[in-house]
Each structure stands twice: as structure tokens, then as C-alpha cells.
Amino acid sequence: MQADLFYSPKRTLARAHHHIEVLRSKTDDFMNGRAPGTYMIERRPGPKNQHTIKFDRDFFEELCSIAFDAANNLRSALDQTAYATALADGTLKPKKAYFPMAGSLEKLDDVVKGRCADLRPEIIALFRTFHPYAGGNLWLAALNTLCNTQKHATLIPFKTDKHQVMYVTKGIMLGFGHRWDPQSFALELLGLNGADFTNGGGYFAFGLSFASSDPVIGGSDPAGLLGGAAIQVDRVLKETELECQRLGLS
């Protein structure tokens, strides 16, 4: 039986899905108060009754590592897909057989010239239809940005909106402003009006996000964003497989 031309990218994509599901499970637990030990609340009595939430940095670094493992697996699956087509076309040791990604449509041509010389024109034409650049395919553009971001760019326990720190008690959700200190990994709650959260009875429902100035990445649920990117990578893989069959390469 003929070996599956796309076995490697399929396995890499499956690994990405695994990381995404682990990330989704861990972040859901954290965001809904089911992850004990991930933060502690400090109260400083006074006129403003200030509360500071200090987070377990190791927990967030683990989540960040899982997220970037998923992102890099997705990016690798794209490149492995392109590489497989070059092998199938008879190139013994492809050196320029990457899936092109660019910061803009204008830069895509330069990327194709520099990194896709070992790919058939039909494959390059197919890859272009996925609009793999900023301003084209939102999911692939976000994936490209993540993969070009330093891995210690962390996840943070709130969305970009200043009122996305929520406290849930007795079926009521209370929203508060905050001030974030990335050095101490602590969140100061603002506008409490005498509230005291140190006695229990409720839990914080955080909105996890990437610490990114990119409006798509910084404002998205990390597992949801990566899940959307995975759908696009799966689409690239399946359509490339069909194109190779049409071209008689598999």
C-alpha cells in the first residue's frame, strides 16, 4: 500500500489539536474558579478597601507554553504540507518548500520568491487562495504573528476591556476595573466601593487573553483563536491533498 504523502502534517496537526484541548480545559477551569492555588487575594483596609490579586506565574507560563506549542505545531503542519508536495514532485531534498505567510498582500510575492522555489506553480496558486497574510485570512495572519512572537509573551488574566475582571457571587456578576503590574504579576482591583472578597462566597471569572497589542490576538480567547487557526490549517491540508491527486502527485 502506498504511504500517505501527508502523514507527517496530519500527525503534527493532530498534536496541535491535543495542545488546544489541553489549553481549553485548563483555561476553562481557571476562568470559572475551578483551579485552586492559581491566585491569592490580598486586602489592604482603608478608605478605598484596596484588593490585589497575585497570580501563580508558573501556572501562566505553563499555559503559555501549551499555547505556543499548539501554534508552532500548526505552523509546522503548513510547512510540512508544502514540503510533501515538493517531494512528491520529484525534488529529492527541497530547500525552498514552505507555506508562504506574510505581513501584507504586497509582501506575499517576496515570500513566495524567497521560500517557495521548489513548489509547483499550481501548488503556489492554491496556497495564494487561502490569503495567508495580514488583512487576508484572519486566522492564518494571527497564527503567523503568534509564531513570530517571543514565547515568553505571556497570557494574562483579563481581556483588553477595562471592565473584564468579573466576580460571581449568588448568581450575580460584578465587573471591576483593574491596574495590571506585569513585573509582580499582580492585578489591583479598582472601584470596589467597600466590597471585600477575602471572605469567600464567590469566585473571580477571569477573561484570559494574550498580552498582545494586536486587536485580534489580544481580544480573543486563546483556545478559540488557536482552534480557528487549526480549522484553517486542516482546510489547507485537505485541499492540498486533493490538488496533488488532481496533478497525479499522490
On whether residue 59 sits in a domain, the answer given is yes
Query: What is the domain count for the chain?
Result: 1
10-residue stretch averages of pLDDT, the chain, 250 residues long: 84 98 94 84 73 89 93 98 96 95 96 97 98 96 90 72 75 83 87 68 82 84 96 98 93
Give, in order, the Cα–Cα distances in Å from 110 to each of 21, 100, 102, 159.
35, 9, 9, 35
What's the confidence (pLDDT) of residue 1? 37
Q: Please enumerate in sequence order all residues whose Cβ is within 8 A of that of 243, keeping only pairs 6 or more positions apart, or say none.
A: 122, 123, 126
Is 0.85 surpassed by the pTM of this model? yes
Report yes or no on 225 lying in a domain: yes
Please indicate, yes or no, if residue 1 is contained in any of the structural domains.
no
The answer as to whether 2 is a domain residue is: no
Name the pairing type of β-strands 165-169 and 172-181. antiparallel
| 188 in a structural domain | yes
Q: Is 89 helix (H, G, I), strand (E, B) or coil?
A: coil
Q: Which domain holds residue 84?
A: 7-247
